[in-house]
């Protein structure tokens, strides 16, 4: 599904023109992971790398808000793929030309979402607001939706804790024996709890099996509550049938 992010079409830019305005998208060259490198020792602001299980690669972040976004996107099974520093957007608004490096490209339900992540105070600055309004309106002409994602929306400690917990146990792949054990368990049970005593027949920690299936979208839980011993996980397929 990461092929959804290989949108450079062999590095060729995409352009949209309207009256005195235009948008030009420039993508990383072939073999280049991102449009610009952000994780360097010389930068004054905090930067770092995040090991994404979904992408199978290290992602570079330049703010704690971006790091939070990576964690939440990585743990969300509704997100098919995501990538950082995906493109350069050159744009012109009434003759004024500027350049913009958005933070993340997200693939969700076959929609390609371009994310810019900022604290609310920065997002509301006049020049940023003008750019956001412009790209929200015209970027869809090139096949992308533009979103200003507020850092405050990404800092929910409970949801971040749950995401990190699921990723901690769910990163390693699980074998077919463990999957079959869970399938058999659900033949006679509606749910499974975080620390239930289930023999996986493979010696694998049940939390690893539950977490992996949750990352894959097979199991769901109440993410408004912190994961604990009694947290209940259910088959997503069963919940879908109940809602129909």
Q: Looking at 63-77, 119-133, 192-206, which range is the least confident one?
A: 192-206
Q: What's residue 1's pLDDT?
A: 42
**Residue 96 structure tokens:** 């004024």
DSSP string, 18-55: ETTEEEEEE-PPTT-SSSS----TT-SS--EEEEETTT
- Please state, in angstroms and rounded to a whole number, the distance separating the CA atoms of residues 138 and 18: 9
The pTM of this model reads: 0.89
Q: What's residue 30's pLDDT?
A: 79
Q: Indicate the helix (H) or strand (E) that contains 120.
A: helix 120-123
Q: What's residue 242's pLDDT?
A: 46
Q: What's residue 8's pLDDT?
A: 46
DSSP string, 71-117: HHHHH-TTEEEEEES--EEEEEETTEEEEE--SEEEEETTEEEEEEE
Q: What's residue 18's pLDDT?
A: 93
Q: Tokens 């990723």 belong to which residue?
A: 167
Selected residue with higher pLDDT from 189 and 42: 189
Q: What's residue 199's pLDDT?
A: 54
**Residue 108 structure tokens:** 């969700």
Q: What's residue 130's pLDDT?
A: 97
Selected residue with higher pLDDT from 36 and 132: 132
Question: Rounded to the nearest 5°, which phi and psi values hold at 165?
Answer: -65, -50
Contact 145, 113 (CB under 8 A): yes
Segment 130-182, tens digit of pLDDT: 999 999 999 999 999 999 999 999 999 999 999 999 999 999 999 998 899 88
Segment 47-61, tens digit of pLDDT: 899 999 999 999 999
Indicate the pLDDT class of residue 97, thresholds 50, 70 and 90.
very high
Residue 43 has pLDDT above 70, yes or no: no
**Residue 42 structure tokens:** 């010389």
Average pLDDT over residues 91-106: 96
Segment 192-244, tens digit of pLDDT: 998 775 555 557 788 999 999 999 999 999 999 999 988 999 998 754 444 44
SS3 188: coil
**C-alpha 54, offset from chain centre:** 9
> How far from each other are the two terminal CA atoms of the chain, in whole angstroms?
28
Domain range 2-154, CATH architecture = 3-Layer(aba) Sandwich (3.40)
Average pLDDT over residues 95-103: 96
Residues of the chain with CATH 3.40.1350.10: 2-154
Give the list of residues 6+ apart from residue 62 with CB closer than 8 angstroms, or none: 38, 39, 43, 45, 46, 47
- Please state, in angstroms and rounded to a whole number, the distance separating the CA atoms of residues 163 and 220: 12
Contact 50, 164 (CB under 8 A): no
Report whether CATH 3.30.70 matches the domain 170-243: no
- Please state, in angstroms and rounded to a whole number, the distance separating the CA atoms of residues 217 and 237: 10
């Amino acid at each position: 599904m990461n092929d959804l992010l290989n949108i450079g079409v062999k590095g060729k830019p995409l352009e949209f023109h309207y009256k005195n305005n235009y948008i030009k998208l420039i993508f990383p060259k072939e073999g280049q992971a991102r449009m610009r490198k952000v994780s360097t020792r010389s930068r004054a602001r905090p930067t770092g790398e995040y090991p994404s299980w979904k992408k199978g690669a290290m992602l570079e972040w330049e703010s704690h808000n971006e790091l939070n976004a990576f964690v939440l996107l990585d743990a969300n099974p509704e997100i098919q793929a995501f990538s950082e520093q995906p493109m350069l957007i050159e744009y012109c608004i009434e003759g004024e030309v500027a350049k913009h490096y958005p933070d993340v490209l997200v693939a969700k339900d076959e929609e390609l979402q371009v994310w810019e992540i900022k604290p609310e105070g920065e997002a509301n600055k006049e020049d940023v607001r003008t750019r956001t309004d412009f790209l929200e309106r015209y970027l869809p002409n090139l096949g992308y939706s533009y979103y200003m994602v507020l850092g405050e929306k990404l800092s929910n400690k409970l949801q971040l804790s749950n995401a990190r917990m699921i990723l901690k146990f769910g990163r390693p792949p699980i074998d077919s024996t463990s999957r079959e054990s869970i399938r058999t368990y659900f033949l006679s049970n509606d749910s499974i709890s975080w620390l239930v005593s289930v023999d996986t027949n493979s010696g694998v920690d049940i939390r690893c099996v539950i977490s992996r299936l949750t990352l894959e979208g097979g199991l769901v839980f109440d993410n408004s509550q912190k994961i604990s011993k009694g947290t209940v996980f259910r088959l997503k397929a069963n919940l879908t049938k109940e809602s129909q």
